[in-house]
Amino acid sequence: MLENLFTNIAGSLRNLLDSAGVPPLWNDVTLLVVKLVAILVFILLNAIWLVYMERKVAGYMQARIGPNRVGPKGLLQTICDIGKLISKEIPINQGADKVLFLLAPVLVFVPPLMIFAAIPFGDGMVALDLNIGLFYVFALASLSTVIFWMGGWGSNNKYSLLGAMRVVAQMVSYELPMILSILGVIMLVGSMNLSEIISAQQNMWFIVTQPVAFLIFFIAAVAECNRTPFDLVEGESEIVNGPYTEYGGMGFAMFFLAEYASIMIISAMATILFLGGWLAPFGMTFIPSWLWFFLKMYVLIFVVMWFRWTYPRIRVDQLMGFGWKVLVPLSLANIFVTGIGMYIYRAIGW
């Protein structure tokens, strides 16, 4: 019963609209809008929760308790922080390009929202079931590069410019291994539809058959999000906050929340591609599928945070060297080996 909670809600809403005599086109459109609004609320609530979780995880790993004064166990900390940030002035530099400067924090939430529309949260719970779902997701992920660049350029500040240059270099170079590493998965499944990728993992999750690809994908995805050890974009010790230096108040909050939204995206993608999406491991179907998806996503988010609070950050030239000289050849080798493996499988007749 719990399994089909959300599909039942959607179904009853559709019946309601049908019985009210709404034409089928408007029926579909309204349902789509409701689903998108639900996804937006999901992203925002999760981003707010992740801010708190990050601070608590950071505190616990550093032999201290995180926030624990505001609200019970500190749960209302993020709400108060957002309240404080809303009340602040957004300073605009003299000589800053106002259009770019103000547009960047507004647009930064658009790619995550569009990506989440195509992700299957559970059995039959996709807002947009696209046949080229994977392609769509990664095409949109590349768009965020431009938005960070806008923020850095529009600030008229040397530190921001350095940060923006680093962002572009980093995100462009790490997209390549990210996409090459999942080509192995696409070869195994034969389709780019996200729901089909999940169904193809019913017998065995792809992390078992493609461990190297998982590792490469995870590392490249962490680099895409600008998280430590690859957070030299906003590396506080050197360029004080990179492209976000000149932003105050809600502008800063937007970038901050968007970073958590992108962490959610990469965890969701890694779950779908390698960890079986909403499929229950060992047949434990008493936990609904969307809850499994949620749990797997959060395990990966915890690992991302664990990386952040353990590792120092690497330098720009080492970052580029690592991306181009290590990850790209490895992912190409992975495709090669997967191809040979598939050929041998078919030849043996399995």
Partner 1 sequence: MFGKGLIKGLAITWKEFRSKKFTVQYPEQQHPKPERFHGRFKLDVDSCIACNLCANACPNNVIKISSEKVEKKKFLTKYIMNIEYCLFCGMCVEACNKGALKFTTDHDLTQYHYDAIPLVLVEREAPKPEPKPEEEASEEKGGKNAKAAAGKKGKNKEETPAASADKSATEEVGAGKAPEKEGQ
Partner 2 sequence: MLRTETYTMNFGPQHPATHGVFQVVLTLDGERIVKAEPVCGYLHRGIEKLAESRTYTQVIPYTDRLDYLAAMLQNWGYVLAVEKLMGIEVPERAEYLRVISGELSRLASHVLATGVYALDIGGVTGFLLCFRERERMMDLLEELTGSRMTLSYARIGGVADDVPEGWLDKLDKLMDDMPGYIDEYDGLITGNEIFQARTKHVGKLSPETAIDYSLSGPVLRGSGVNYDLRKAKPYSVYDRFDFEVPLGKNGDCFDRYYCRVCEMRQSVRIIKQAIEQIREIDGPIKAKVPKVLKPPKGDAYAEVESSKGIMGFYIVSDGTNKPYRVHVRRPSFINLGYLDEMCRGWLIADLVAILGSIDIVLGEVDC
CA-based torsion, 340, 342, 346, 350: positive or negative:
positive
238 touches partner 2 by CB under 8 A? yes
Q: Which does 237 bind (CB under 5 to 8 A by kind): partner 2, partner 1, none?
A: partner 2
Which of 10, 107, 207, 316 forms a contact with partner 2 (CB under 8 A)? 316
In our burial notation (b when 16+ CB lie closer than 10 A, e otherwise), range 256-271 reads bbbbbbbbbbbbbbbb
Tokens of 123: 């059995």
311 touches partner 1 by CB under 8 A? yes
Stretch that binds partner 2, among 37-45, 61-69, 244-252, 338-346 (CB under 8 A): 61-69
Is the Cβ of residue 65 or residue 344 nearer to partner 1 in the bound state? Answer: 65
346 touches partner 1 by CB under 8 A? no
318 touches partner 2 by CB under 8 A? yes
53 touches partner 2 by CB under 8 A? no
* Contacts with 266 (C-beta within 8 Å, 6 or more apart), sequence order: 221, 222, 224, 225, 300, 304
Q: Which does 60 bind (CB under 5 to 8 A by kind): partner 1, partner 2, none?
A: partner 1
309 touches partner 2 by CB under 8 A? yes
309 touches partner 1 by CB under 8 A? yes
**Using H for helix, E for strand and C for coil, what is the string for the chain?**
CCCCHHHHHHHHHHHHHHHCCCCHHHHHHHHHHHHHHHHHHHHHHHHHHHHHHHHHHHHHHCCCCCCCCCCHHHCCHHHHHHHHHHCCCCCCCCCCCHHHHHHHHHHCCHHHHHHHCCCCCCCCCCCCCCCCHHHHHHHHHCHHHHHHHHHHHCCCCHHHHHHHHHHHHHHHHHHHHHHHHHHHHHHHHCCCCHHHHHHCCCCCCHHHHCHHHHHHHHHHHHHHCCCCCCCHHHCHHHHCCHHHCCCCHHHHHHHHHHHHHHHHHHHHHHHHHHCCCCCCHHHCCCCCHHHHHHHHHHHHHHHHHHHHCCCCCCCHHHHHHHHHHHHHHHHHHHHHHHHHHHHHHHHHCC
Q: Which does 315 bind (CB under 5 to 8 A by kind): partner 2, partner 1, none?
A: partner 2
Is the Cβ of residue 240 or residue 303 nearer to partner 1 in the bound state? Answer: 303
Q: Which does 71 bind (CB under 5 to 8 A by kind): partner 2, partner 1, none?
A: none
Tell me which residues in 95-154 interact with partner 2 (CB under 8 A): none
Q: Which does 57 bind (CB under 5 to 8 A by kind): partner 1, partner 2, none?
A: partner 1
310 touches partner 2 by CB under 8 A? yes
Q: Which residue shows structure tokens 């996804």?
A: 39
Q: Which does 314 bind (CB under 5 to 8 A by kind): partner 2, partner 1, none?
A: partner 2
CB 311, min distance to partner 2, A: 6
Which of 64, 72, 283, 349 forms a contact with partner 1 (CB under 8 A)? 64
Is the Cβ of residue 48 or residue 61 nearer to partner 2 in the bound state? Answer: 61
CB 147, min distance to partner 2, A: 23
Check: CB of residue 98 under 8 Å from CB of residue 92.
yes
Which of 84, 88, 158, 325 forms a contact with partner 2 (CB under 8 A)? 158
Q: Which does 89 bind (CB under 5 to 8 A by kind): partner 2, partner 1, none?
A: none
Check: CB of residue 122 under 8 Å from CB of residue 6.
yes
Which of 23, 24, 32, 60 forms a contact with partner 1 (CB under 8 A)? 60
Which of 237, 284, 286, 349 forms a contact with partner 2 (CB under 8 A)? 237
Residues binding partner 2 (CB under 8 A): 58, 61-64, 158-159, 162, 228-229, 231-232, 235-240, 309-318
Residues binding partner 1 (CB under 8 A): 57, 59-65, 68, 306-307, 309-311
